Amino acid sequence: MMEAIKKGDIRQASRLIRDIEDKLPSAKAKIKKLYPHTGHAFIIGITGAPGAGKSTITDALISALRQKQKRIGVLAVDPTSPFTGGAILGDRIRMQRHAEDEEVFVRSLATRGALGGLSQAVGEAIHVLDAMGKDVILVETVGIGQQEVDIINHAHCVLVVLVPGMGDDVQAMKAGIMEIADIFVINKADRGGSKQLQTELMGLINSTPLTEGGWRPPVVMVGNAHEAVAFNDKIEELVQKVEEYYTYLQQSGKLTERVYRKIQVEINDALRANILEPVIQKLKSSGRMQALVESVRNKEVDPYTAVEEIARCFLK
């Protein structure tokens, strides 16, 4: 199976990603074996609020990068939580037009349940695509909340997609958005309000202090996808910005920083899975959790004191 995946076998890779989603222990063993064969792919995160048109951008990037003979992997991350809006049916169908192309491998990824499991699954699925020999991996996610910042930190380069009509929100996002965005995309830029959004965004970018030799995130204005020529030109511009960013990362030594950041996220995910989750599982299966909830409910103990005692029981 490992050899097949390394040769780019889509069926074996799909199966392993499904096993990752289902959190099968066998999947972890396989990822460990694949790990030494990863590190080739450049990973681009694509994030933005629901309805920003992330999938349109992802789809267009696939086409543009294919013209450059890049082998592409795509992960459409679906947090299966409220307000995701990530992987809606129409977008998935649209991306299927690449399904005939053997060098494009699109998978959506969802996991239910607790405590950052999704971010870990994203990290592992990226390793699968990477080991398959993909040159570029696009990770599309809804960028809201700490968990999603974790997910996007699996990428080397982060595109933030915005749409007109959220001008006020740009103010609210300020620090957070500047922290994660390497390139901004204003989508549906033919709509009213796109100039205002651009102005606010540029103001925000220019008021953020730049370290020496630092990168100032460019803003690419992408119009209506139905006006194919103008749209494709803009996507071409976007690809060029990504290439410029890649060159910047390499020449500045920042690529190493990004790789470290990515590893840190993976370690944090793994710590959660290997330290916090087993404790919760043991508390639940032993009935201690239920007893704890009851005694907090009856005000016999406060939750903080109770958990401090539990921590003393479990930690060396």
**Footprint (CB under 8 A) of a copy of itself, residues 61-100:** 79-90
**Residue 150 DSSP class:** H
Q: Which is nearer to a copy of itself, 233 or 308 (CB)?
A: 308
Distance CA(3)–CA(34), nearest Å, equals 9
Nearest to 46 by CA among 65, 27, 23: 65
For residue 96, give the DSSP letter. G
The footprint of a copy of itself on residues 290-309 (CB under 8 A) is 292-293, 296-297, 299, 302-308
Residues 169 to 188 in contact with a copy of itself, rule: CB under 8 A: 169, 171-173, 175-177, 179-181
The residue among 33 and 68 lying less far from a copy of itself, judged by its C-beta, is 33
**Binder of a copy of itself out of 1, 4, 255, 259 (CB under 8 A):** 259
Q: Are the beta carbons of 58 and 172 closer than 8 angstroms?
A: no
Stretch 150-169: interaction string toward a copy of itself, x if CB under 8 A: ----------x----xx-xx
Report 107-136 residues binding a copy of itself (CB under 8 A): 115-116, 118
- Are 199 and 206 spatial neighbours (Cβ–Cβ below 8 Å)? no
**Residue 122 to residue 262: CA distance in whole angstroms:** 11
Closest alpha carbon to 48 in 244, 224, 180: 180
**Counting contacts by CB under 8 A, is residue 203 touching a copy of itself?**
no
Which phi and psi (to 5°) does residue 43 adopt?
-110, 120
C-beta of 304: minimal distance to a copy of itself in Å?
Answer: 6
Span 29-58, contacts to a copy of itself by CB under 8 A: 31-32, 35-36, 39, 47-51
